[in-house]
C-alpha cells in the first residue's frame, strides 16, 4: 500500500472517490440506477456526483433493474462504460437474464467481436434488520457464470483500487459492497492507484491457521485473529479480494504454511463460495493439511427479521474464534 | 432498366426497389439452402427460417446506414443478411466452422457482426431489447447520430423487460425503433391466445411514435421505416413499428406437422396471395421497372451464389479444440 500520509476515508467515500476519478478520466463512464442522482443512493454513497457530472452521466432510472441493466449491456457494447447501481443485492434476481444470458455471453458468442465493459455495483450483508429480501449475499450466483468477474472488497483502500480496475476492465464485472462496511474507515491515498483483479492480499500474517475471508468477513476474521492471539494461536488472514479471477496460489501457499484453514464468506454456506475455496485449498494443500478445511457461511435459512434470530445466521468473531480454537486442538 | 428521361430521384428509387427485390430473394435463397442443409443432416442444432417475412428485414434495414445498429432474434438470418452480412461467413457459422462470423461459437441464433452494426442475434425471446436500447443510449450520449433497431417477434410482447426499456427509451428520448414482427404464431400458439388488448396501444401508452404496416409490402415497410428512422436520428425519440407478416415454415425446420395449430389452407393463402417477393416482382413488371426475365435471372444468380457459399462453408475447417477456452474474457 502506498503512503497515505494519514489520509483516511470511509468505505463509502472510497467508492465515491473511485467513481469520481474514473468519471473525470474517462467521459464514457456513467452511472445508472435508482435514486443515484439527487439522492446519491439510500446509503449516500454517490452524494455529490450529480453536482460534478450532471444528469447525463449520473442517471436516475425507473425501478426497472432488468431494463436499465440490459440498457447498460448495449451501451457498453457500443462505446460507453456504464456502472449500474443495484441498490440491494437481493434485486440482482431481477437482472439475471441481462447479466447471465447477455452480458456474460456476448463476447464468447460473438467469437470475441463484441465486448461488454460494464460494472454492476450492488450490496450484500446481513445484520441490518432488513429481513429476508434486503439482506442476502448472493455473489456466488455470479461466480458460477463464465464471462463475469466478481469483486468483493474488504477495506476502503481495496474498494477504491478494485473499483477503478473494474471500471477499466473490458469485461462485465460485478462489484459487491457490504452495506455494513460503508462507514468503516481506513487509509486511502489521494489520487490514482489501482488494485488488480485476481490478486489476493494477506491482511494479517500468522503461523498456526489460515482464515480465508471475503468482504466484511475479513473484518470478522481480523477480530477473531486478535482473540486467538490472546490464547497463543497465530492466525493468518487471507482476502482473495476477487472471487473470479481467483488467486488460488496465495490461498494454497498460506494453507500449506499454517496447515489449517477456515473459509469465511457471508453467502449461503450450502453450495456456496466457501465450498469452492475449501476445495481449492483441500486439493492444492492436501499433503500439508493437519485438519479438514472448515467452512463458515450464512445459515441455510431466509434471513430473519428478529435481531436475536438474524444475529446467529452469519459468522461472528466469537464463532470464528471458537471454530479456529477447535481446529487447532485447543 | 431506367430511361434517361426519368428524374434522378425516381431513378434512385428504382435502384432501391431493385436492390430490395434482390435482398429479399437473397434471404429466401439463403433460407432454402439452410432447409436443405438441415434436412441433409449437415447442420447441427436448430434452424428457424425467415421465409415469408423477408419484406420486414429488407424494408427496415434499407432505411438504415451501415453504421446504424440492429439486434436480431432466433429467427435472425434475414436481419443479418439485410444489414449486410455475407452469406459465406453466415453459412460457416451455421455449420460451426472457424470461418463463421463468430468463429463457430455462436451458431444460427447468435450471428453478430460489428462491421455491419449487428449487435447480435439473440436466442432469449426479447433478450436483446435492453441491448438495442443501450446502443441507442450510447449513440445519444456520444452524439454519433446512429439509430438502433430492435427486431423481435410478437412472442416477445409477453416479456416485461420490453416495457421497461420502452419506458426508458421514451424518458431518455433515445433513437431506437422497436420492430415487432407479428407472424401470428408464438412458437406453436396463435398470438391471440397470448396477447391481450391492443398491441400498438402498449407502445402508445409510453408515448412512443407507433405505427403498423403490411409486413408483406416491402415498399410500405421501407417508407414507414424511413420516416421513423429520420425522426429518431433527429432526436425526436423512439418508435414502435408493428409489421403484420407470416412465417411460411414451422417454428423451426423440424416443425413439420403443424395442423394442430394452423391449417394448410391458411398457409396456402398467405403464400399465394401475400407473398412479399412475388407481389413485389409483379408490381415491378407492371410498372415496367423490370422485366420478368431479369427477375428470373436474379433468382438464378442468387441461388447459385448461395450454393457457392454453402460449398465454402461445408469445406471450411472446424475450430481447433483449443479454442474452446478462448474469448470467454476480453
Q: What is the Cα–Cα distance from A169 to A196, expressed in whole angstroms?
A: 10
pLDDT of residue B9: 67
Residue A7 has pLDDT above 70, yes or no: yes
A67 vs B contacts (CB less than 8 Å): 130, 133, 161, 164-165, 167-168
Residue written as cell 391458411? B266
CB contact under 8 A, B103 and A98: no
Cα nearest neighbour of B71 on chain A: A74
**pLDDT tens digit sequence for A18-27:** 999 999 999 9
Q: What is the least distance, in Å, from the CA of A38 to any CA of chain B?
A: 17
How sure is the predictor about A1, in pLDDT bands with cuts at 50, 70 and 90?
low
Of A59, A102, A110, nearest to B127 by CB-CB distance is: A102
Average pLDDT estimate for A67-77: 98
A79: closest CA of chain B, how far (Å): 7
pLDDT grade, residue A2 (50/70/90)?
A: low
Of A68, A79, A110, the CB nearest to B168: A68
The whole-angstrom distance between residue A281's C-alpha and the CA centroid of its chain comes to 20
Give me the half-sphere count of Cα atoms (radius 13 Å) on the Cβ side of residue A163.
32
In this prediction, residue A5 carries a pLDDT of 77
Instruction: Give the distance from residue A58's alpha carbon to the nearest chain B alpha carbon, in angstroms.
Output: 12
Domain ranges of chain A: 9-187, 201-327
| Residue B191 buriedness (CB in 10 A; 0-12 / 13-18 / 19+) | middle
CATH architecture for residues A201-327: 3-Layer(aba) Sandwich (3.40)
Query: Measured between CB atoms, which of A28, A77, A108 is closest to B135?
Result: A77
CA of B118: which chain A residue's CA is closest? A114
Of all residues in chain A, what percent carry a pLDDT higher than 70?
A: 99
Residue A4: pLDDT over 90: no
Of A293, A314, A316, A315, the C-alpha closest to A304 is: A314
Yes or no: say if B101 and B90 are a contact pair by the CB < 8 Å rule: yes
Residue B170 Cα, gap to closest chain A Cα (Å): 12
State whether A80 and B110 contact (CB < 8 Å). no
Look up the pTM and report it.
Answer: 0.96
**Calpha distance A89→B323 (Å, rounded):** 34
Mean pLDDT, rounded, for A198-202: 98
Say whether pLDDT at A208 is over 60.
yes
Using a CB-CB cut-off of 8 Å, the residues of chain B touching A59 are 172
Mean pLDDT of A80-100: 97
b/e map B308-321, b = 16+ CB within 10 Å: ebbebbeebeebee
Which of A64, A102, A146 is closest, CB to CB, to B131? Answer: A102
Q: How many residues does chain A have?
A: 330
Q: Which residues in chain B (59-78) have CB-CB distances under 8 A to chain A?
A: 69, 71
CB neighbourhood size of B3 (10 A): 8
User: Does the beta carbon of B323 lie under 8 angstroms from any beta carbon of chain A?
Assistant: no
Q: How confident is the model at residue B1 (pLDDT cuts 50, 70, 90)?
A: very low
Mean pLDDT of A240-254: 98
**Which single residue is written with the C-alpha cell 460503508?**
A182
Q: Is B148 helix (H, G, I), strand (E, B) or coil?
A: strand
CB contact under 8 A, B132 and A73: no
pLDDT confidence of residue B196: 97
Q: State the Cα–Cα distance between residues B19 and B21, nearest whole angstrom.
A: 5
Q: pLDDT at residue B5 above 80?
A: no
Q: Which residues of B touch A70 (CB under 8 A)?
A: 129-131, 133-134, 161, 164-165
Provide DSSP, A244-255: ES--HHHHHHHH
Helix (H, G, I), strand (E, B) or coil at A174: strand
pLDDT of A99 > 50? The answer is: yes
B114 touches chain A (CB under 8 A): yes
| pLDDT confidence band for B2 (50 / 70 / 90) | very low
- What's the per-residue H, E or C state across A101-136? HHHCCHHHHCCCCCCCCCEEEEEECCCCCCCCCCCC
C-alpha cell at B142: 456520444
CATH number of A9-187: 3.40.50.970
The pLDDT of residue A66 is 98
Which residues 6+ apart lie within 8 Å of A170 measured at CB? A115, A117, B329, B330
In contact, B133 and B150? CB cutoff 8 Å? yes
Q: How far is B300 from chain A (nearest CA, A)?
A: 32
User: B101–A79: do the CB atoms touch at under 8 Å?
Assistant: no
For cell 469465511, the residue is A264
Touching check for B329 and chain A: CB below 8 Å? yes
* pLDDT band, residue B10 (cuts 50/70/90): confident
Residues of A annotated as catalytic are 134
User: What pLDDT does residue A51 have?
Assistant: 97
CB contact under 8 Å between A171 and B110, yes or no, is no
A137: distance to nearest CA of chain B, Å? 25
Judged by CB atoms within 8 Å, which residues 130-169 of B form the interface with A?
130-139, 141-142, 144, 148, 160-161, 164-165, 167-168
Q: Among partner residues B119, B132, B167, which is closest to A114 by beta-carbon distance?
A: B119
pLDDT tens digits, B240-282: 999 999 999 999 998 999 999 999 999 999 999 999 999 999 9
| pLDDT at position B217 over 80 | yes
Question: Residues B22-41: what's their mean pLDDT?
Answer: 96
B284: CB partners within 8 A, 6+ apart: B17, B18, B21, B290, B295
Residue B11 pLDDT class (50, 70, 90 cuts): confident
C-alpha cell at A155: 477495506
Tell me the mean pLDDT in the region B109-119.
98
Interface of A with B in 46-65 (CB under 8 A): 56, 59, 61-62, 64
Q: Which domains does chain B have, with CATH numbers?
A: 8-318 (3.40.50.970)
CA angle B229–B230–B233, rounded 5-degree value: 85
Please tell me the distance from the alpha carbon of residue B130 to that of residue B120, in angstroms, as a whole number.
12
Residue B63: closest CA among B213, B184, B173:
B213
- On average, the pLDDT of chain B sits at 96
Percentage above 90 pLDDT, chain B: 95
If you average pLDDT over residues A136-144, what whole number do you get? 97
Q: Residues with Cβ < 8 Å from B12, sequence gap 6 or more?
A: none
| DSSP letters spanning A55-68 | TTTEEE--S-HHHH
Instruction: Express each pLDDT in B228-248 by its tens digit.
Output: 999 999 999 999 999 999 999
Per-residue model confidence as pLDDT tens digits over B51-71: 999 999 999 999 999 999 999
Q: Give the span between the Cα atoms of A196 and B44, in whole angstroms.
A: 41
Q: Give pLDDT tens digits for B146-170.
A: 999 999 999 999 999 999 999 999 9
Residues of A in contact with B329 (CB under 8 A): 107, 147, 149, 170-171
The interface residues of chain B toward chain A in range 168-197, judged by CB-CB distance below 8 A, are 168, 171-172
Residue A178: C-alpha distances to residues A42, A85, A183, A253, A277 (Å) = 14, 14, 10, 27, 20
- Mutation pick from A59, A60, A64, A75 vs chain B, by most beta carbons of B within 10 Å, is A75
Q: What is the DSSP code (8-state) at residue A22?
A: H
User: Is-same-fold flag (A9-187; A201-327)?
Assistant: yes
**A154-165, pLDDT tens digit by residue?**
999 999 999 999
DSSP character for A97? I
Amino acid at each position: 500500500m502506498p503512503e497515505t500520509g494519514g489520509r483516511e476515508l470511509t468505505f463509502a467515500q472510497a467508492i465515491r472517490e473511485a467513481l469520481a476519478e474514473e468519471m473525470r478520466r474517462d467521459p464514457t463512464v456513467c452511472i445508472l440506477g435508482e435514486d443515484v442522482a439527487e439522492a446519491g443512493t439510500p446509503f449516500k454513497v454517490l452524494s455529490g456526483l450529480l453536482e460534478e457530472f450532471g444528469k447525463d452521466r449520473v442517471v436516475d432510472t425507473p425501478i426497472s433493474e432488468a431494463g436499465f441493466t440490459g440498457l447498460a449491456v448495449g451501451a457498453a457494447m457500443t462505446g460507453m462504460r456504464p456502472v449500474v447501481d443495484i441498490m440491494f443485492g437481493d434485486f440482482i434476481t431481477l437482472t439475471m437474464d441481462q447479466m447471465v444470458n447477455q452480458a456474460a455471453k456476448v463476447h464468447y458468442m460473438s467469437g470475441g467481436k463484441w465486448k461488454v465493459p460494464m460494472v454492476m455495483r450492488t450490496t450484500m450483508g446481513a445484520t441490518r434488520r432488513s429481513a429476508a429480501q434486503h439482506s442476502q449475499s448472493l455473489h456466488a450466483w455470479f461466480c458460477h457464470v463464465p464471462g463475469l468477474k466478481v469483486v468483493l472488497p474488504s477495506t476502503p483502500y481495496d474498494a477504491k483500487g478494485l473499483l477503478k480496475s473494474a471500471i477499466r476492465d473490458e469485461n462485465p464485472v460485478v462489484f459487491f459492497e457490504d452495506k455494513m462496511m460503508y462507514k468503516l474507515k481506513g487509509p486511502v491515498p489521494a489520487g490514482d492507484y489501482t488494485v488488480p483483479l485476481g490478486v489476493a492480499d494477506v491482511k494479517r500474517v500468522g503461523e498456526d491457521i489460515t482464515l480465508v475471508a471475503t468482504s466484511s468477513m475479513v473484518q470478522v476474521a481480523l477480530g477473531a485473529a486478535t482473540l486467538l492471539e490472546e490464547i497463543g494461536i497465530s492466525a493468518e488472514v487471507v482476502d482473495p479480494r476477487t472471487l473470479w479471477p481467483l488467486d488460488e496460489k496465495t490461498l494454497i501457499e498460506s494453507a500449506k504454511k499454517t496447515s489449517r484453514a477456515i473459509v469465511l464468506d457471508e453467502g449461503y454456506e450450502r453450495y456456496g463460495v466457501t465450498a469452492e475455496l475449501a476445495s481449492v485449498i483441500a486439493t492444492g494443500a492436501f499433503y500439508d493439511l493437519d485438519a479438514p478445511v472448515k467452512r463458515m457461511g450464512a445459515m441455510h435459512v431466509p434471513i430473519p427479521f428478529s435481531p436475536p434470530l438474524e444475529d446467529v445466521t452469519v459468522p461472528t468473531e466469537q464463532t470464528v474464534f471458537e471454530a479456529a480454537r477447535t481446529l487447532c486442538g485447543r | 432498366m431506367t430511361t434517361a428521361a426519368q428524374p434522378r430521384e425516381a431513378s434512385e428509387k428504382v435502384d432501391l426497389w431493385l436492390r430490395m427485390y434482390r435482398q429479399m430473394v437473397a434471404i429466401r435463397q439463403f433460407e432454402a439452402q439452410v432447409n436443405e442443409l438441415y434436412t441433409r443432416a449437415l447442420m447441427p442444432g436448430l434452424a428457424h427460417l425467415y421465409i415469408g417475412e423477408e419484406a420486414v428485414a429488407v424494408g427496415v434495414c434499407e432505411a438504415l446506414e451501415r453504421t446504424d445498429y440492429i439486434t436480431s432474434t432466433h429467427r435472425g438470418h434475414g436481419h443479418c443478411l439485410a444489414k449486410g452480412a455475407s452469406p459465406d461467413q453466415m453459412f460457416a457459422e451455421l455449420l460451426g466452422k472457424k470461418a463463421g462470423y463468430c468463429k463457430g461459437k455462436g451458431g444460427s441464433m447468435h450471428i453478430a457482426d460489428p462491421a455491419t452494426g449487428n449487435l447480435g442475434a439473440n436466442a432469449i425471446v426479447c433478450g436483446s431489447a435492453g441491448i438495442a436500447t443501450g446502443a441507442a443510449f450510447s449513440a445519444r450520449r456520444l452524439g454519433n447520430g446512429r439509430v438502433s433497431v430492435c427486431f423481435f417477434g410478437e412472442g416477445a410482447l409477453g416479456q416485461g423487460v420490453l416495457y421497461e426499456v420502452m419506458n426508458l427509451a421514451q424518458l431518455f428520448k433515445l433513437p431506437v425503433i422497436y420492430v415487432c414482427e407479428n407472424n401470428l404464431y408464438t412458437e406453436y400458439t396463435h398470438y391471440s391466445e397470448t396477447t391481450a388488448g391492443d398491441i400498438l396501444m402498449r407502445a402508445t401508452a409510453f408515448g412512443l411514435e407507433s405505427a403498423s404496416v403490411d409486413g408483406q409490402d416491402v415498399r410500405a415497410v421501407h417508407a414507414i421505416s424511413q420516416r421513423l428512422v429520420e425522426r429518431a436520428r433527429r432526436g425526436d425519440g423512439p418508435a414502435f413499428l408493428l409489421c403484420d407478416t407470416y412465417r411460411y415454415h414451422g417454428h423451426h425446420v423440424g416443425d413439420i406437422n403443424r395442423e394442430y395449430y394452423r391449417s394448410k389452407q391458411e398457409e396456402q393463402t398467405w403464400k399465394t396471395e401475400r407473398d412479399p417477393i412475388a407481389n413485389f416482382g409483379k408490381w415491378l413488371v407492371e410498372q415496367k421497372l423490370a422485366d420478368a426475365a431479369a427477375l428470373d435471372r436474379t433468382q438464378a444468380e442468387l441461388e447459385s451464389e448461395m450454393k457457392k457459399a454453402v460449398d465454402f462453408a461445408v469445406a471450411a475447417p472446424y475450430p481447433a479444440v483449443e479454442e474452446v477456452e478462448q474469448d470467454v474474457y476480453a
